[in-house]
Structures are given as structure tokens and as C-alpha cells.
Amino acid sequence: MTLTVVMAVYNEGKTVESTINDVLNASTDGHKLELIIVESNSSDGSREIVKKFAEDHRVKIILQEAPRGKGNAVRAGLAVATGDIILINDADSEYTVKDYPKLLAPFHDEAVTFVLGSRHQSGQAMRRPSEQRFRFFIVNSAHLVFTLLFNVVYGCWLKDPFTMYKVFRRHCIKGLRLEANRFDFDWELVAKLVRSGHQPIEIPITYVSRSFESGKKVRWIRDPLTWLVALVKYRFVRLR
């Protein structure tokens, strides 16, 4: 069994090298590792860092000519993935590869096709920065609202459908039509997998949110609007 990790990289010069090394040294529950890095022509030196890993036989690098959004980069990685199981991993340090074993463990059951790493911890806010408390109160509240809307529209009960840690068998996306380019890809992928009959198992994970000044790329107005469009659009569009 092979695990393919898809990593989109854009202006993550402070964390990308350590994150790649973490993935390459992660415990993969006995799976052979394939790491696909999609670099979107960063302006902070991230591309040069990524290129240093080109000689590692486990690494495939895709160099995009221009940034087209995280969703576009992830889709480019999915298009060449060969692993039996696929895991999406960002190039920042908000998540930890120490959670890989528990994310992969459910796949020992052949009936399991889809796992989500849930950032929720009982009695605690998802994002707990030492600064910008009001700003992140708004973000946390919005997350709860969007999660409720997603569950109502798609007839499920998920705690964290928008987590980065999405892990699924590659056959789940075979022939699946994916088109989102920005963070609405999180909505599209989960929505279409759920509509295809793949009910995810949610596994609690460790999550430490970074601030917007530290590189968080979600835009306050544009991205929530695309999420609302995605909420409705991907409930009704054709899957294949």
C-alpha cells in the first residue's frame, strides 16, 4: 500500500523545509510514501527550497508558472497521485505529522474510504491565538455557522468538514469532476465525496492556528462568498 501526500506550496518560506522534512520522516503506518509538492511560483524563496528535495526518489515536484489558488495546486497534485490512499498536507506548521498513524489506522478496515482530521477539542475554541482574540472569535464563530450550513445542506453531521487533513482512497475520486481553485476546494471535495456515498470518519487531531500576519491566506470577504456559492453549487452540479 502506498500513501500519497499532496502538498501545495505558495510563499511558505519560513515553514516549508521543516514541513517537507517532517512528512518525509513521518510514521506512515507501514505505507510506502509518495510526496507530491506543487509549488506555485512563490516570491519568497519557497521554490528554491522545494527544489532541494528533487533528488529524493519519494518526491515529485510540480512547478506552476503562476499562483492559481490552493485548490488548483491540490488538483494538480491529485492528477498525478499514484497512492492507494491520498492525504492532503499544507506547507505550514498548523498541523502535525504525528497524527498520521491515527488518521491512517481506520483504513485497515477495507470498508473505510474517507477520514477527516477534526480540529475540535472539547471545551476549547478551535483557534486560540495569543493575540487578535476578537478577530479569531469572529473566525471561530463563522466556522460554526458554515459547518451547520454544510451539515444541513448535505444531510450529514460533521464537526469539521473544512479541515486540511482529508484522507481518502484514491478510487474515491476516480472520474470525479473537481474544479475549485481557492479554498472553496475544501467544500467541493468533501461535498462531492459525501454525495458519492463516502461518509467520513472524523479523528481528533492537534491543531495550532497561526495568525494572519504569520501567513494565513484566507481573505475576509472574497473567500466566505466563494464558500456560500460552493455550498449551493456543489449540492446540485453533476459529479462526473
* Residue pLDDT, tens place only, 39-61: 999 999 999 999 999 999 999 99
Report whether 39 contacts 64 (CB < 8 A): yes
Domain that holds residue 130: 2-236
Name the amino acid, one letter, at 190.
V
Residues whose CB falls within 8 Å of the CB of residue 86, separated by 6 or more in sequence, listed in order: 3, 4, 5, 6, 78, 167, 168, 169, 170, 173
Q: How confident is the model at residue 223 (pLDDT cuts 50, 70, 90)?
A: confident
Residue range 159-204, pLDDT digits in tens = 999 999 999 999 999 999 999 999 999 999 999 999 999 999 999 9
Give the domain CATH number at 188.
3.90.550.10
As a whole-number percent, the residues of the chain with pLDDT over 90 amount to 80
**Cα 146 to Cα 139: distance, rounded to the nearest angstrom:** 10
Q: At what angle do helices 184-195 and 70-80 cross, to 10 degrees?
A: 50
Q: Which helix (H) or strand (E) holds 222?
A: helix 222-236
pTM (predicted TM-score): 0.90
pLDDT (average), residues 22-38? 97
pLDDT (average), residues 6-22? 97
Residue 134, C-alpha cell as written in the block? 476578537
Q: How many domains does the chain have?
A: 1
- pLDDT of 236 above 70: yes
